[in-house]
Amino acid sequence: MIRIATLTLLPALLFAAPGFAQDKTPHTNYVLRCAGCHGMSGAGAPSAGIFDFNGMVGAFAGIDEGRTYLMHVPGVAGSGLSDAEIAAVMNYVMETWAGDSLPEPYEPFTQAEVTARRAIPIPDVVENRREVVALLEALGIETADYPWP
């Protein structure tokens, strides 16, 4: 009897699982996919190459190259989240930790933008970050410390 009930319920559970995964809030997805490296406070681990979001992450959202870079950082690229979920998490990060670094006006990330930017090839994300930081510095915009030269 238990076996019959299990076999009857299994297909329903399998079809329900994808819908459940899509119902996670941006905060929940941040906790599950990002907090392991960036922490619950967004402080990261600068000595390990994981920069502090606090008051700095918004600088990247203010220029085209920075927005593309954000879509290619390892935690985003390998997150397993859909493009819509990535956009929502990015907006959550910006709203939570960007502070004064958030550009005015702020253009929220969209699913279409994430899809387009993820399709741009970035063969070396560390080198790409260096280039983006150089652009930001040329504009007089400060970014978080990064240990890799």
Domain 21-138 indexed as CATH 3.30.470.30: no
**What pLDDT digit, counting tens, does each position of 17-39 carry?**
444 445 789 999 999 988 888 88
- Angstrom CA distances, 40 to 30, 43, 144, stand at 9, 8, 17
Q: Does the pLDDT of residue 12 top 70, yes or no?
A: no
101 three-state secondary structure:
helix
- Residue 45 dihedral angles phi and psi, to the nearest 5°: -145, 80
Q: What is the pLDDT of residue 47?
A: 80
What's this model's pTM, rounded to 2 decimal places?
0.81
11 near 4, Cβ under 8 Å? Answer: no
Instruction: For residues 53 and 129, give the distance between their C-alpha atoms in angstroms, rounded to a whole number.
Output: 15
pLDDT digits (tens, 9 = 90+) for 79-109: 899 999 999 999 999 999 999 998 999 999 9
